[in-house]
Amino acid sequence: MSYRAPTEDIRFVLNELADLENVLALPGFEDVSSDLVDAVLDENAKFVEQAIAPLNQSGDTSPAKWSDGSVSTSPGFKKAFSEFAAGGWQGLQHEQEWGGQGLPKLIGAAVSENMNAANLAFSLCPLLTDGVIEALTAVGTHDQQSRFIPPMLEGRWTGTMNLTEPQAGSDLAQVATRAVKQGDGSYRLSGQKIFITYGEHDMAENIVHLVLARTPDAPRGVKGISLFIVPKFLVGEDGTLGPRNDVWCASLEHKLGIHGSPTAVLLYGSGKGDVGEGAVGYLVGEENRGLEYMFIMMNAARYAVGIQGIAVSERALQHAVAYAHERVQGQALEGSAGPVAISNHPDVQRMLLNMRALTEGGRALAYVAAAACDTARRHTDPAARARSKAVYEYLVPVVKGFSTESSLEVTSLGVQVHGGMGFIEETGAAQYYRDARILPIYEGTTAIQANDFVGRKILRDGGAVAKVLSAEMRALVVQLQQESDKAGRDADGLDLIARRLGAGIEAYDKATSFILANAQSSLRAVFLGSVPYLMLAGTVHAGWQLARAALVCSQKAHADEAAAFYTTKLATSVFYAAHILPRVESLSVSVLEGIVASRYANEAGGK
């Protein structure tokens, strides 16, 4: 099954919901015209459809292979990566100073979605490299930047994040990898890191590992972690590759999904290689501030994983839609002479619209967040920057949590639409189900997103951002109701959306108030409901964006030449309101019942 970039919806979201025009008007984007954006999207669609998408299933069946410390990636990956490099895709949203193209994050989000939809396993490599570039751009020295960033932008080198150790998963306080300072100012690292995505491979000349480690006299816990650059090959001042560093891939994991992505166990300081014992590393920023720096790339990576959730959902949706139109089974509900395509059956329509609603709702919300990020970075007015920054930071855990959890539902429905064929691996639907399952786990589980959301994004500002968003959503409900009162053709659909969104906002406000009121006295109650609250926020905010879309579509659905697109979009928005938004109300009940429920839960002691 081939993948086609959903360019029509991407353009709709960019222009109608994420206000591309205003993003392009920000300082620094003077050279980015809307024609250029169109050209980038078209070129990107062509590239991913032709070069990357065809390797998705073969990457699954022929995973990366480890042999004696080396890793050969799946057939075709190396060639595709060189095309990726030649196309300049790695530099898309990075600083022009180091050779990037300096496009808005908003465009980067669209391109990244297409890449990941085409091939999630392949696209993890650039995703991690993006994070390394972002971190070094923010906190590297000029020498570190000039030495390491350009080759990554060119796609000659790639980057990795090294956080996890066997005893330290989500709990970085337990990181034990040691870093000992040498006379020349460099460090020697020793320890073991696990779950390192593209920690070893054959697609690039060098690999830039960013590694969390602890100096001998560092304080305990997360305040004693430092961040180091450890290149696979040392790099001379002129950028030439030097001796092989003492970092080695001991094995690859055998995973449920994303088989094309090599997940490495890395050993630092085992004494092999050309540098003696200990991997040579260079401190980034100051000692003991590693966690803070790592969060720079973590936040970028969290957002990017949210995009992955949308991407794999879109891929699963396309696969299911194609099958539903092709597969002939059963009579039409109204009775007919013979069997019809299953896309005529109400429950297949329900499943497809459920998939589409979550995918397009997630996309709209994520792109709106990206626009806020661009505004936060570049707006001339400091107050506008601060407002957008707060909104973006509020939305990062929401996008990550909501889009990735939704991708589990979407890819599961994708299997279900195929019936028995969905369970057969050759069909392809099962791969998305397997691939998606890592998304709510890596770069911080959904629980960790929820902790971040409740702790840093709600409690810290007393719910200020939540109140702003609530007011904006309420204004939209009024507008929808006014439009519906005009009794035009789609009045009943807009009315349904207005009612369900209104009820959703009520529920959101109540849950937020509960969180704010009880964090002091009943922390367990609040955190028993933190994931439901995160999902609640994602569900109501994505519904908000689809409601905005419905307003636009109701005006165009019966006039425009692209009427089919608007009709489907409007139906998707109505469906979201009827089948997804009501979840907000039940999630809110779960949050509100937290005090009693958490007492019983804790008595049962995690049984």
Among 39, 256, 386, 517, binds a copy of itself (CB under 8 A): 256
517 near a copy of itself, judged by CB under 8 A: no
Q: Which of 114, 95, 135, 81 is nearest to 5 (CA)?
A: 114
Strand partners, 247: 268
Give the C-alpha separation, 390 to 388, whole Å. Answer: 5
Give the C-alpha separation, 368 to 399, whole Å. Answer: 10
Give the C-alpha separation, 434 to 259, whole Å. Answer: 10
Output DSSP code: residue 30. Answer: T
Quick one: 105 or 214, whose CB is closer to a copy of itself? 214
The distance of closest approach from Cβ of residue 207 to a copy of itself in the complex, given in angstroms and rounded to an integer, is 21
| Stretch of 18-26, 230-238, 254-262, 362-370 lying at the interface with a copy of itself (CB under 8 A) | 254-262
The distance of closest approach from Cβ of residue 527 to a copy of itself in the complex, given in angstroms and rounded to an integer, is 4
Interactions with a copy of itself, residue window 551-570 (CB under 8 A): 567-568, 570
Quick one: 371 or 580, whose CB is closer to a copy of itself? 580
424 near a copy of itself, judged by CB under 8 A: yes
519 near a copy of itself, judged by CB under 8 A: no
272 near a copy of itself, judged by CB under 8 A: no
Quick one: 1 or 441, whose CB is closer to a copy of itself? 441
Quick one: 6 or 155, whose CB is closer to a copy of itself? 6
| Stretch of 10-18, 34-42, 327-335, 372-380 lying at the interface with a copy of itself (CB under 8 A) | 327-335
Q: Which of 7, 70, 90 is nearest to 42 (CA)?
A: 7
510 near a copy of itself, judged by CB under 8 A: no
The distance of closest approach from Cβ of residue 165 to a copy of itself in the complex, given in angstroms and rounded to an integer, is 11
The distance of closest approach from Cβ of residue 348 to a copy of itself in the complex, given in angstroms and rounded to an integer, is 6
176 near a copy of itself, judged by CB under 8 A: no
487 near a copy of itself, judged by CB under 8 A: no
- Check: CB of residue 374 under 8 Å from CB of residue 18: no
The distance of closest approach from Cβ of residue 599 to a copy of itself in the complex, given in angstroms and rounded to an integer, is 8
425 near a copy of itself, judged by CB under 8 A: yes
Interactions with a copy of itself, residue window 122-161 (CB under 8 A): none
Give the C-alpha separation, 592 to 597, whole Å. Answer: 10
Give the C-alpha separation, 133 to 370, whole Å. Answer: 18
Interactions with a copy of itself, residue window 431-450 (CB under 8 A): 433-434, 437-438, 440-442, 445-447, 450
Interactions with a copy of itself, residue window 334-353 (CB under 8 A): 334, 339, 341-350, 352-353
The distance of closest approach from Cβ of residue 372 to a copy of itself in the complex, given in angstroms and rounded to an integer, is 27
Strands 263-268, 339-341: parallel, antiparallel or unpaired by DSSP?
unpaired
Catalytic: 561?
Answer: no
The distance of closest approach from Cβ of residue 450 to a copy of itself in the complex, given in angstroms and rounded to an integer, is 7
| Stretch of 70-78, 361-369, 373-381, 598-606 lying at the interface with a copy of itself (CB under 8 A) | 598-606
| Stretch of 108-116, 230-238, 272-280, 430-438 lying at the interface with a copy of itself (CB under 8 A) | 430-438
The distance of closest approach from Cβ of residue 598 to a copy of itself in the complex, given in angstroms and rounded to an integer, is 7
466 near a copy of itself, judged by CB under 8 A: no
Give the C-alpha separation, 345 to 319, whole Å. Answer: 17
Chain centroid to CA 462: how far? 27
Long-range CB pairs of 250-257, under 8 A, 24+ apart, other chains included: 250/69, 250/192, 251/66, 252/63, 252/64, 252/65, 252/66, 252/71, 253/194, 253/195, 255/438, 256/434, 256/437, 256/438, 257/60, 257/431, 257/433, 257/434, 257/435, 257/436, 257/437, 257/438
496 near a copy of itself, judged by CB under 8 A: yes
Q: Which residues contact 287 (CB under 8 A, 6 or more apart)?
A: 215, 218, 226
571 near a copy of itself, judged by CB under 8 A: yes
The three-point CA angle 561-349-14 to 5° equals 45
Q: Which of 410, 440, 433, 512 is nearest to 470 (CA)?
A: 512
- Check: CB of residue 278 under 8 Å from CB of residue 189: yes
Pick the catalytic residue from 360, 443, 483, 585: 443
The distance of closest approach from Cβ of residue 280 to a copy of itself in the complex, given in angstroms and rounded to an integer, is 28
Half-sphere exposure of 37 (CA within 13 A, CB side): 22
Give the C-alpha separation, 93 to 107, whole Å. Answer: 8
Give the C-alpha separation, 54 to 63, whole Å. Answer: 15
572 near a copy of itself, judged by CB under 8 A: yes
Among 36, 421, 459, 516, binds a copy of itself (CB under 8 A): 421
Catalytic sites, residue numbers: 443
